[in-house]
A and B are shown apart, each in its own frame.
Chain A
């Protein structure tokens, strides 16, 4: 099954700045989810966007999906040191699995 590819692999910003991460994929999807992982432990679901949606918001998070370009972006506005984590996109395709990318490591410097 396909895997999403996050870009960049690592991102370092200052507190208060916005962080943008991208996820590209190759075949059609039903939905795309973003998860956060702190310190190599369990993942926490952030937001889900379905293939017929173009944009969703949740607090300081904004997700876009462009199915024609097969890409999604996650924007975190007004970042905080606590946002430091790895962020993964997960693809929901035609089966019952979620396929995770390798993640973007975000570091927010105070």
Chain B
């Protein structure tokens, strides 16, 4: 695709409900990252996927958070039993290969703005 897409753009939910956020990476990008950004803050790493390798889940804040990715395609981030502190923008990024030490550029989606009432 032309760029990384995310859906929904905005999500309002009630405390205790589950939400599912979706990310479509750029075609051919093997690496996919999820970040959380609270208002006025920087990006907080949540999880990354690389091809069929085991994901790095070290940034997930609690067991209420989980993510899946099938191969090199779509990823979903699920938050169970949402809390008000989960309110944030959730950003997805993809890169040709894993970033970090390799100096790869990350391409970001527009994010999903989640509000938990």
Q: Quick one: CB contact mask for A85-96 with B, threshold 8 Å, 1 for yes?
A: 000101011111
B25 on interface, CB distance cutoff 8 Å: no
Q: Quick one: CB contact mask for A72-99 with B, threshold 8 Å, 1 for yes?
A: 0000000000000000101011111111
A50 CB contacts on chain B under 8 angstroms: 103
Contacts A40-B89, A44-B108, A96-B50 given; does A102 touch B42 at CB 8 Å: yes
A101 CB contacts on chain B under 8 angstroms: 42
B42 CB contacts on chain A under 8 angstroms: 3, 88, 100-103
CB atoms of A95 and B89 under 8 A apart:
no
A-B contacts, 28 listed (Cβ < 8 Å): A30-B100, A30-B103, A41-B110, A42-B108, A42-B110, A42-B111, A45-B105, A45-B106, A45-B107, A48-B103, A48-B105, A50-B103, A92-B102, A93-B101, A94-B101, A95-B101, A96-B56, A96-B99, A96-B100, A96-B102, A97-B33, A97-B48, A97-B99, A98-B33, A98-B99, A98-B106, A99-B45, A102-B41
Residue positions of B touching A, CB distance < 8 A = 4, 31, 33, 35, 37, 39, 41-43, 45, 48, 50, 56, 89, 91, 93, 98-103, 105-111, 113
